[in-house]
Structures are given as structure tokens and as C-alpha cells.
Chain A
Amino acid sequence: MNKATSPNGATPPHERDIKTIVNAGLARRHAAERRFRWYGLTAITLGLAFVVLMFANIINKGLPAFWQTYIQVPITFDAAALDPEGQRDPRALAGADYNALVRAGLRQLFPKVEGRLPLRALSALVSTDASYDLQRRVLADPQLIGTQQEIWLLASAAVDTFVKGNIDRGLEEANRPIKDNQIDWIDQLRAAGKIERQFNAVLFRSGDSREPEQAGIRGALMGSFFTLLVTFLLSFPIGVATAVYLEEFAPKNRWTDIIEVNINNLAAVPSIVFGLLGLAVFINFFGLPRSAPLVGGLVLSLMTLPVIIIAGRAALTSVPPSIREAALGMGASKLQMVGHHVLPLAMPGMLTGSIIGMARALGESAPLLMIGMVAFIVDVPKSFLDPATVLPVQIYLWSDLPERAFVERTSAAIMVLLAFMILMNGLAILLRKRFERRW
């Protein structure tokens, strides 16, 4: 092996002096040891660095999305234009031309602007939602009519992106979404204190939209809520019942063996295959509606079931047999023993497993793409059968859109999603800590 360092080449191996031999190789071996240790440390540092990097990357991108640019515009709620008949009839009020109010307000700010194109550029400073905003205000409070108000209107996405410093002024005008004259106006507004960033309530208030500044995650959140509710209502009772049956009642035979192997395998089946199942069985065979949280919940509950069953069985096995014997010894039936003694003791563990399963279901998107929960849906779903999407799918949909403002919102949506996941996992850890028992 190491001819050079072995001083005892001539003596038979058994009489060689171990002390000198070992000494000769020590430096090399310790170097190897340090190297190996360093590999390990590098690996784990890399792994942890990825965690930090991903979070930093997402937060860095997404944090600005929680603020949104607004422009203060003087709006004259002209009674003649809004309500010529003076009846304050909501229908008439709803049908009025609020766009004109916005345009007039902007012209009031910049009276010198002339010409069709510059005027159009001027109105492009505010979001197309601004007129609906005014409509909502008037409908909510008809007293506004006839007054003049300084109103903060939602700026357009391009303005917002520019104000957040994500558009380079140095770019050629044709290459940026915001033009020279608009930049000029923004600078003036800024100097006058008429442009500011406010908390982005729209993000939490509205459904999806093609306009980034109007797009929100409310619809996706409600979709996720309904989907997870179905998932929980189905998978928790069935999962607990299966765990109880397999652990406490089932005879150990071929049949239960098959169930067990089957559950372990189901836990490792790719999620997209569950989507195929949902499409073929729930939608095509049973004719349930596409894009519905009900179907999403059905698919996800089938996916979550193995997780809950496995956690449930672990929780049940951790209850010591002495408790079962004690209950049976008192003359309780097997079901009473389980219901009164074993299940309550195992419940925290089962809940922990279920919450972790639900957190996974919350982050799942692939199977939901298969069953049509990937559509562009503006309305916030109100029931289990309304077309809906879920938060992770919303993230997927937005991530495809090129606008910088959507990139920002995608990251913000991811932050919300991660916050929910952290909340759920934290709850699970808390539950485990609180009810952990050592027998």
C-alpha cells in the first residue's frame, strides 16, 4: 500500500511495529478526515443556504407588492353628469360615465396637456379600476354628488412599477412601458406630494384580473379554503377510521396486508396521477363540474388520506397496551375501549398528522391542473361548486405573465402561501409539544 512509508518491508507483517506504521500514515489519514468532514459541512451549509436563498429571493421580490401606488386626483362629482334626473336612482348612478370624472380630474392636475395621444397617456396614469372605484364610492354615499373631493386613485401598474424603481429611466423610450411625458408628470406629482404608496388592500380584496394592479388573491384564497374544507371533512374521518380499524380491529391476514402495502404505495404515487384519477372518475364518469372546489377537495382528500392514516397508526401504536388491557379488564367492549381510552390519547398525534397532511394539500397544485382549477376566474367563489382556483395554482398562473408587477404579486402570493404553511406546521409542532406524552 505505502511502500515508501512502511519501514518494515522485510519483516513478516505480524511482527511489524504498529506504532511506527500508524505514525507514518497519520498525517495523510487526518487530512482525509478533515476533507471528509469539510464535505459534510459544505453539504449541509449548501442545503441551508438554499433555504435562506429561496426565502430571501421570494421576500425580496414580493415585499414591494404589499404596497401599491396611489395618485391623489381632485374629482368633481358633477351632479349634471352623474345624475341628470336628480332621482338618485342607483341604476342611473351605476350607469354614469365615471371615466369622464377621472379624465377631468387628471386634466385639472395637468391643464396644459393637449392632444389625443398625450391625453390618453395622462389617463393611463391611473388604473382602469379608478372609474369603478368612483362608482362604488358614489353608490355607497350619494351625498358625494355635487361636491369636489381629493381622492386617492389606484395608479396603473406601469406607474406603480416605475415608482418602485423597477423601470430604468435610462432605457430608450420605446423600450419602456412608461413614456417620457408620463415620467415628467409623475415627477411633478411626486414633488406635490400627490403620489404615495399605500397598503395594497386590493391584493386581499379582489379576485384575479388581467390588470396587475387590480389582481388579488381573494378568489384563490377562498378556493383554497373550500377545497381544503372538503379535503378535511372527507379525509380526516375516513383516515382516522382506517387507522383505528387497521390498528385495533383488523385481523392480521392477507387482506389487511394488501391494504397496508397499498396505503404505503399510495403515499408515494405522484400527485399528478391523482389528477388523472379525478379527471377520469369524478369529472368524466360521475359528471361533476370542472374547476369546482368539491372535485379538488375529493382529489386532494384521496392524496391526503395515506398521510393521515400513517400518522394515525403511529399515534395509536404509541398508546401503551396497558391502557387497552385496563379498559378491557373493566368489561368495556372493544369499541368502548377504543372510543373512550385509546382514541382520545391518540387524538393529538392524529391531529398533528392531519394538519401536516392539510398543509401539504394546501401547497399541492399539479392534480388540480388536471381537473380544470387552472382557469382565469375573476369572481370570488362562494360555494363548493363555483368555478375556482387555489392559491398555488394562482401562483402558477401569475408566474407565466411577463409584467414585472405580476412577478411581484406572484412572490407576494407565495409569501401568503408560505405564511399559511408555516402557521399550519407551527400549529402541528405546538400540538405535538403540548400533548407529547412519554409512557
Chain B
Amino acid sequence: MSTTAIDTQIALNGALNRNAPIRQSAGAQVTDYDNRQTVGKITVDNPKMACREVNVYYGQKHAIKNVSLDIGANEVIAFIGPSGCGKSTFIRCLNRMNDTIPAARVTGLIKLDDDDIHAKEIDVVQLRARVGMVFQKPNPFPKSIYENVAYGPRIHGMVNDKAELDQLVRDSLERAGLIKEVEKRMLEPGTSLSGGQQQRLCIARAIAVNPEVILMDEPCSALDPIATAKIEELIDELRENYTIVIVTHSMQQAARVSQRTAYFHLGDLIEIGDTDQIFTNPRHKLTEDYITGRFG
């Protein structure tokens, strides 16, 4: 299955590339609203994850239609689009969170490095340890701050003793930029923190297991602007060590934090490309309309 999928994709890319001469002037080349073929280059040189012809069905509803794209190592890629476009559904495919929804069915190929994440020998537990996730609403466990961060390392058996665990928890909180705020209150419940701190706690919790990819599903939508700014800064720093996929409804945020951007519309991947290009020179009429605020 994987070879056919990739062959198709190569053919697809060829077709796309022929139709996509670089032009710096404003205005889209694809003006047909009904044309839902992905515009832009879906591949990267050093992909961390690769998705080919991914489809998601919720019962009868076709929520993601034939989406193919690469996620480069140590890049921040942003998924944007109007609400209900499927960007959150798609990101949940990347660590198989859709498995928890009984009605959801996912087809297509998704690879993490060289592993097909749907393959039998890949365990979902292992996959999710490698691909961490941060949710829309901060969801710290009803435990202490320390225990929140220590949760992942504990269940996976990552550390050998208490000292290592302490070290790991401190490191993670430091990387999440939270250590100064919580150093003195490690044993207080995670829910006692402010919203922005809670979200950074969730990020610390995710990076404590040392994942390769971090998925962020609208991580700032429940936060105030100052907290948002902190998280955005953090995302930029995290890029050094992790590959980050972020879903956002805010175009400004996508522009600020990401290197590449993918625009989703009603389950289709409409356009993908460098963030600068998408925002300054969208090639599809739908992307342009969205970016210029005609809907969304």
C-alpha cells in the first residue's frame, strides 16, 4: 500500500509543480472555487512525518478528504482554516487520538520517520509517547504540579530513581519556561495555576517524555494575549529540539510562529507552502479569501 501511495503522490507532485510557476505578484492563480486540488509543494527535504491520501470519516461524514503533506523535522507547521475545516481532526490523526472516538475511521498512509503509524508492530502507546499533544483547553490532571509533569515519565518507566525524576521534572518545567513561577509550589495542584501557566504546564507534561513531535491543537484559544505571547515564544524555542504541528484559528499566530502553513477548507487541504508565501501571495482563491478576511 505504501509504495502505491507514494507513487501516486509523486505523480501528483509533478502535476502540481508544472502548474505552479513562482510569481511574486498578488492575486491567486487558481481562481476556481470548486478546484480542491492541493496547491503548493507538499514535500520537504527532511520529513519527520509524511501523510499520503489521508481520509477520515465520522460515521457517514467525510471529514478529511485525501490529504497529503509532509512535516519537516524541527519545523513549526501551522494548520489554518475556518472552523469545521478539519484541521483539528487531521492533527488528531497524527498520534491516532481519533482511535478514542468509536465512530471515527482513518484511511491512508501516515509515517513517522520510517514507521507506518497504523502498522501492526507500532503500538499506539509508543506512538503517542513519540508524538505528544497539547489541547485547546488546558487540561492539567487533578494532581500536584510535580505529579502532572512526572506522569508521563512514570508510566513509561523513563527514569531509574527519584533524583532522576526530580531532574527530569525540573528540566521539563524549565524548557516550558515555567520553572521560575512554580519552583516553590511544586506540590500545589496543577489547577491552582492561571490559564496560561496551566497550558505551559501541559506543554511541560508533554515534553517530559521527550517526544519527537508535539501536536498543539489551538493551544492559545482559551488564553489572554499576554499568556499567548509567552506560549508563542516558547514554541519558537522548542523548535530546536522538537517538530511542532500547531492548529490555530489565528492567522497572525500562524504567521508569527510557523515556517510552513497549510490551509484547510471543508476537509480539503487547499494550499500548503512557506508561511511568508501563503500570507503574502496565496495561490488559491479560497486561501486568499480566507487570508483577506472574506470569511472565516
Contact A18 B158 (CB under 8 A): yes
A6 within 8 A of B: yes
B280 within 8 A of A: no
Contact B126 A13 (CB under 8 A): no
Contact B158 A13 (CB under 8 A): yes
Majority secondary structure, A binding face: helix
From A20-28, A268-276, A367-375, A379-387, the one touching the partner chain is A20-28
Residues on A with C-beta less than 8 A from B211 are: 18
Contact B210 A16 (CB under 8 A): yes
Contact A5 B157 (CB under 8 A): yes
B167 within 8 A of A: yes
Residues on A with C-beta less than 8 A from B256 are: none
Partner of B153, one of A12, A13, A23: A13
- In the bound complex, CA of A397 to CA of B198 (Å): 63
Contact A22 B160 (CB under 8 A): no
Partner of B123, one of A2, A15, A26: A26
Residues on B with C-beta less than 8 A from A3 are: 160
- In the bound complex, CA of A24 to CA of B168 (Å): 19
- In the bound complex, CA of A25 to CA of B158 (Å): 10
Residues on A with C-beta less than 8 A from B126 are: 19, 22-23, 26
Majority secondary structure, B binding face: helix
For A15, the closest partner residue in chain B by CB is B210
Contact B156 A13 (CB under 8 A): no
For B165, the closest partner residue in chain A by CB is A13
A14 within 8 A of B: yes
Residues on B with C-beta less than 8 A from A117 are: none
- Chain A 20-53 near chain B by CB (<8 Å), digits 1 or 0: 0111111001100000000000000000000000
Given known contacts A13-B164, A13-B168, A26-B126, A18 and B157 CB-to-CB distance under 8 angstroms = no
Given known contacts A22-B129, A26-B123, A29-B125, A14 and B171 CB-to-CB distance under 8 angstroms = yes
Contact B156 A22 (CB under 8 A): yes
B212 within 8 A of A: yes
B270 within 8 A of A: no
Contact B130 A18 (CB under 8 A): yes
- In the bound complex, CA of A16 to CA of B164 (Å): 12
In this complex, the member of B155, B156, B164, B168 whose beta carbon has the largest number of chain A beta carbons within 10 angstroms is: B156
B63 within 8 A of A: no
Residues on A with C-beta less than 8 A from B160 are: 1-3, 6, 9
Partner of B157, one of A9, A12, A14, A21: A21
- In the bound complex, CA of A24 to CA of B123 (Å): 12
Within 8 A of A (CB), among B116-161: 123, 125-126, 129-130, 153-160
Given known contacts A23-B126, A29-B125, A18 and B156 CB-to-CB distance under 8 angstroms = yes
Given known contacts A21-B157, A26-B125, A29-B125, A13 and B171 CB-to-CB distance under 8 angstroms = yes
A256 to chain B, nearest CB (A): 32
Given known contacts A13-B168, A14-B168, A21 and B158 CB-to-CB distance under 8 angstroms = yes
A20 to chain B, nearest CB (A): 10
B51 within 8 A of A: no
Contact B167 A6 (CB under 8 A): no
How many residues of chain B have a CB within 8 Å of chain A?
23
Contact A13 B167 (CB under 8 A): yes
- In the bound complex, CA of A21 to CA of B212 (Å): 14
Contact A18 B154 (CB under 8 A): no
How many residues of chain A have a CB within 8 Å of chain B?
22
Residues on B with C-beta less than 8 A from A1 are: 154, 157-160
Residues on A with C-beta less than 8 A from B123 are: 22-23, 26, 30
B84 to chain A, nearest CB (A): 24
- In the bound complex, CA of A9 to CA of B163 (Å): 13
Residues on A with C-beta less than 8 A from B212 are: 18
B209 within 8 A of A: yes
For A1, the closest partner residue in chain B by CB is B157
- In the bound complex, CA of A25 to CA of B129 (Å): 12
B213 to chain A, nearest CB (A): 11
Contact A18 B209 (CB under 8 A): yes
Residues on A with C-beta less than 8 A from B167 are: 12-13
- In the bound complex, CA of A14 to CA of B209 (Å): 8
- In the bound complex, CA of A16 to CA of B171 (Å): 13
Residues on A with C-beta less than 8 A from B153 are: 13
A18 to chain B, nearest CB (A): 5
A234 to chain B, nearest CB (A): 46
Contact A13 B159 (CB under 8 A): yes
A288 to chain B, nearest CB (A): 54
Within 8 A of A (CB), among B61-112: none
- In the bound complex, CA of A29 to CA of B154 (Å): 12
Contact A2 B157 (CB under 8 A): yes
- In the bound complex, CA of A337 to CA of B22 (Å): 70
- In the bound complex, CA of A29 to CA of B172 (Å): 24
B197 to chain A, nearest CB (A): 21
Residues on A with C-beta less than 8 A from B159 are: 1, 13
A296 to chain B, nearest CB (A): 48
- In the bound complex, CA of A29 to CA of B211 (Å): 19
Residues on B with C-beta less than 8 A from A23 are: 123, 126
A24 to chain B, nearest CB (A): 7
Contact B158 A24 (CB under 8 A): no
- In the bound complex, CA of A292 to CA of B176 (Å): 75
- In the bound complex, CA of A318 to CA of B172 (Å): 48
For B168, the closest partner residue in chain A by CB is A13
Residues on B with C-beta less than 8 A from A21 are: 129, 156-158
Residues on B with C-beta less than 8 A from A25 are: 156-157
Residues on A with C-beta less than 8 A from B168 are: 13-14
- In the bound complex, CA of A3 to CA of B158 (Å): 10
Within 8 A of B (CB), among A396-420: none
B65 to chain A, nearest CB (A): 32
For A28, the closest partner residue in chain B by CB is B157
- In the bound complex, CA of A22 to CA of B130 (Å): 9
- In the bound complex, CA of A398 to CA of B209 (Å): 66
B130 to chain A, nearest CB (A): 6
- In the bound complex, CA of A29 to CA of B125 (Å): 10
Contacts A1-B160, A22-B156 supplied; 13 other A-B pairs, CB < 8 Å: A12-B171, A13-B165, A14-B168, A14-B172, A18-B158, A18-B212, A19-B129, A19-B130, A21-B129, A21-B156, A22-B125, A23-B123, A23-B126
A–B Cβ pairs within 8 angstroms, 16 of them = A1-B159, A1-B160, A5-B157, A6-B160, A12-B171, A13-B167, A13-B210, A15-B210, A18-B130, A18-B158, A22-B125, A22-B129, A24-B157, A25-B156, A25-B157, A26-B126
Which 8 A-B residue pairs are closest in the complex by CB-CB distance? A13-B168, A22-B126, A1-B157, A2-B157, A25-B157, A22-B129, A18-B210, A18-B129
